[in-house]
Structure 1
Amino acid sequence: MSAAHRRGFVMPDFRRPGVLLRLLVVAEGARWVWWAIGATAAERLPPLWAGALLFEPVLLTVAALLAVLAPWWRRGSARRALVATAVLTVGVALAWRAWVERWGVTVPGPVSVVLGAVAVWALVAVYFDWRQLRLSPALAEARLLALQSRMRPHFLFNSLNSVLALMRRDPARAEAMLEDLAELYRVLLAEPHTPVPWYEELALARAYLAVEQVRLGERLRCVWHVDAAPAQALLPPLTLQPLVENAVRHGIEPRPDGGTITIEAFRDDDHLVLFVRNPLPPAGAATRGHGLALANLRERLALLYDDEARLRVYESEGEFVAQVRLPLRPDALSDAPRRSAS
């Protein structure tokens, strides 16, 4: 990836449990690797105990301060935040060194503590930068996948043929179908990094199913339970539509008699929960696909929300179920009644 296409470093949101857990794991891993490399078998136990007595309080204190000050870190430039967090880490390490030394415990000198604190924090920053860089392509691939897979050529040709068939016997419906197609392409060609409100994502899914309804006729039946979802809740673009298309491709098209797709959305505490259910394809159906849309959505959720969001897929009572759970922003929490996902 060239420098022109690489996104700059983004300071992680240390208020998220998953981010804090990764911070602790990386820092602890660095300490154990250094100990394993630098200590002899006869010297390992005492240095490890003394190191833990200093290292653990420093690590936990820094983690707590990073979480408390997370809004400030993310308010300014990433460079300023990196410098400030490095200075914070060094200051906490020196303060704990002075405190532990008062107990009569042998501890490394100030220079060693400073170098160690900077080295560990640099490793943590490199890890989060690598993780951001590794998952960032999923955002750009969402647009590419939408153009190449979701809006595949044969779907476009079938839709246009349906429009032509409707032109003479039902011009109004043909015009409405063209408008739905135009709306689909407008969204698919839009900037993929900007979150969209739930009502827009819902309108896109309805437009897509309206197009497919003309093509599949009575074979496609839809049931909507979405009134309990906050209309202003923000979510990544192309979150619901890929799940709906997946349901049409793998649950409706392979079945001669079609089937029913159920779309459900509601608020569960401070999360938005989406369900898309469709009948399982007949045995031996050759339209299973490769799971690209689901894998792409799962990566985007991991990048944007870490462990606060999840995508689950499973089979239940003859249906394939896709469930998405997303955190809600505070301004969307009063937009819909609360309901439990259990």
Structure 2
Amino acid sequence: MESLDNVSLSDTRSLRRTDVWVGLWFGVVTLIGLLNALHRYLNNVANGIPASFTFNLIEELTGSLSFGLMLPVLFAAIRRIRQLTHRWMRYACHVLLVLLLSVLHTSLTWGSRIWLFQLAGLGHYDYGVMFWRYVMEFPSDVFYYLLVAVVLWLIDRYRTAQRRELRAAQLESALSEARLDALRLQLNPHFLFNALNAISSIMYEHPRVADEMLARIGELLRATLSAKAQEHSLSEEWRLLALYLDIQRARFGEQLMAHIDTDPALGKAQVPFLVLQPLVENAIEHGGGDIRKVEITVQRCDGNLEFRVSNPVALGGGNTHSGHGIGLSNIEARLKHLYGSHAGLRLARDEGQEASVRLWLPYREGASA
């Protein structure tokens, strides 16, 4: 039923566009005839010649409408001629087409005037010697033919340019999406390698802990690999981060202290998929010391969503977060692709006491939390 509704809606829109074009066509050719009739009538009045506006109106409307009736066929023929490979064939076809157009236009004008003059009670319409009428109308038909050909060429060029721009935008979007997918694929093996390396270091001494870590890793990987979008809600990001922290707690036990400070009202905010895990992983791995403390805060500020992941500096004054690594460079690249200059990542260190990563991006809510 949904597909039928979509087809019906598409057909309705197509019919509306057709009605608009038909109305525009009729309005233009009628306006041309009306203006020409008014010009002839006023010219006769100015010259003191007895004038009938109805007479002039029928003559000019029959001429413009007769030409307008042939426009759809004329458009199709001109477009077909453009596709011919040889130039001489195109020129020959244009000449034949304008000759045929002029003969048909003059004949149709003549026949319609005879009928309409009798219908309006103006008597018999005398069009003069038809041979000379055909010759007389030919120059004006050539002019209007060239005008139609040029306008049609401009319209087609404009539409072609629009299609190219649309295609280029689609290709650019597809390329950007492919790059983002590549970055996500790079991130998952990086996380998996680090997690498996941590398991291998404890699997003989603490097999139960290693087994628990493997179970958490499997659950987290199922969630990450099944994701299709580049963004999801902040509440879902917290859920994935909680799985990762469970893995690290199984590894470090009570030595790991992680605190998350957030507002539940921000749960619908859209954030890049798995954007916090590399930051938290970096803080845990480089924090050092017997107790590894990680503080994660998020707030909305001036239309942005700002994250801050901090940890104490390792003993000995080591430069925490000294390198971006795969995780942080990955985040920077993803932020650039998704938000351009409206998002960023900054590393900081406070007087040898604390190292932190500040991340900001535009605040935007999704349909659901």
SS of aligned partner of 1:238 = coil
1:328 aligns with 2:361: no
| Equivalences for residues 279-298 of structure 1 within 5 A | 282-283=318-319, 288-290=324-326, 291-298=328-335
Assess, with a 3 A threshold, how the Cα gap between structure 1 residues 115 and 280 changes in structure 2: closer, same or farther: farther
Higher mean alpha-carbon deviation, 275-284 vs 225-234, is at 275-284
Q: Distance in 2 between matches of 1:236 and 1:267?
A: 16
Tell which structure's C-alpha radius of gyration is larger: 2
| Equivalences for residues 127-166 of structure 1 within 5 A | 127-152=168-193, 154-159=194-199, 161-162=201-202, 165-166=205-206
Aligned residue in 1 for 2:226:
190
Assess, with a 3 A threshold, how the Cα gap between structure 1 residues 324 and 150 changes in structure 2: closer, same or farther: farther
Q: C-alpha deviations, 1:121-156, integer Å up to 9, x for none? A: 23422331232132122332244213321211x531
Q: Distance in 1 between matches of 2:312 and 2:200?
A: 27
Assess, with a 3 A threshold, how the Cα gap between structure 1 residues 286 and 319 changes in structure 2: closer, same or farther: closer
SS of aligned partner of 1:319 = strand
Contact 1:199/1:231 (8 A) holds in 2? yes
Contact 2:349/2:355 (8 A) holds in 1? yes
User: Which of the numbers 155, 158, 161 marks the counterpart of 1:114?
Assistant: 155
Aligned residue in 1 for 2:307:
274
Q: Percent identity?
A: 20
Q: Distance in 2 between matches of 1:179 and 1:314?
A: 33
Contact 2:269/2:363 (8 A) holds in 1? no
Residue identity opposite 1:275 in structure 2: R
Q: How big is the shift at 1:272?
A: 4.2
Q: Distance in 2 between matches of 1:161 and 1:224?
A: 28
Contact 2:304/2:363 (8 A) holds in 1? yes
Higher helix share: 2
Contact 2:344/2:360 (8 A) holds in 1? yes
Q: Distance in 1 between matches of 2:323 and 2:252?
A: 16
Q: Which has the higher contact order (CA 8 A, sep 6+)?
A: 1
Q: Distance in 2 between matches of 1:316 and 1:286?
A: 10
The runs of 5 or more residues in structure 1 that have no matched partner are 1-75, 99-108, 336-342
The runs of 5 or more residues in structure 2 that have no matched partner are 1-5, 29-149
Q: Distance in 1 between matches of 2:367 and 2:173?
A: 27
SS of aligned partner of 2:325 = coil
Residue identity opposite 1:133 in structure 2: A
Assess, with a 3 A threshold, how the Cα gap between structure 1 residues 129 and 203 changes in structure 2: closer, same or farther: same
User: Which of the numbers 343, 346, 354 marks the counterpart of 1:310?
Assistant: 343
Q: How big is the shift at 1:202?
A: 0.7
Contact 1:163/1:177 (8 A) holds in 2? no
Contact 2:232/2:273 (8 A) holds in 1? yes
